[in-house]
Amino acid sequence: MIDRDGYRANVGIILCNARGEVFWGKRVRQHSWQFPQGGIKRGESPEQAMYRELHEEVGLLPQHVRVLGRTREWLRYDVPEQWLRRDSRSNYRGQKQIWYLLRLVGRDNDVCLRATEKPEFDAWCWSEYWSPVDAVIEFKREVYRTALGELRHLLAAAGRPQAQASGWRSRDRAAEAS
């Protein structure tokens, strides 16, 4: 669904563990890392889309997570012109996203990157809270920075310290077979 301004409705998911680290997924057959995210289908609420995407991309169910909060407003980014597929029927410019901050209440081994027939990630790791900002593709950085900044205070409210910017504490996980 693309709105009249050319933005596709989407949800983004910042999944944290008990240490306040964030889930970071590697796109299948790419050297590209990102948070789980995906489009909102017609008739679906942002929260319903978030749970669907969480299962499709990470294999987690609602009982594996606790919702700590979400962004107040849509966050938008434009896709650079050279990345756009030109379709005479479309005025697509980019994405508008509602971002959710979730706490994993299950275990690391509840994560299953092959929960669906078309996995989106083939590896994952936990990373320091701010690390993904500099590693994500440039045109998405401001949205990541805004979402992380807006939601950061919820970690402290949930009993986790607010992480400062620091390097990777990576524990790569190979894709698991279901």
- Asked whether residue 1 is assigned to any structural domain, the reply reads no
Domain count of the fold of the chain: 1
pLDDT in tens, the chain (178 residues): 889 999 999 999 999 999 999 999 999 999 889 999 999 999 999 999 999 999 999 999 999 999 999 999 999 999 998 877 766 557 889 999 999 999 999 999 999 999 999 999 999 999 999 988 888 889 999 999 999 999 999 987 766 555 443 333 333 344 343 3
- Asked whether residue 30 is assigned to any structural domain, the reply reads yes
Q: How deeply is 164 buried, as exposed, middle or buried, from its count of CB atoms within 10 A (0-12, 13-18, 19+)? A: exposed
pTM recorded for the entire structure: 0.86
Which domain does 89 fall in, by range? 7-174
Give the integer Cα–Cα distance in Å for 45 and 139. 26
- Asked whether residue 68 is assigned to any structural domain, the reply reads yes
What pLDDT is attached to residue 91? 84
- Asked whether residue 136 is assigned to any structural domain, the reply reads yes
- Asked whether residue 2 is assigned to any structural domain, the reply reads no
CATH number at 69 reads 3.90.79.10
What pLDDT is attached to residue 86? 65
- Asked whether residue 18 is assigned to any structural domain, the reply reads yes
- Asked whether residue 15 is assigned to any structural domain, the reply reads yes
- Asked whether residue 72 is assigned to any structural domain, the reply reads yes
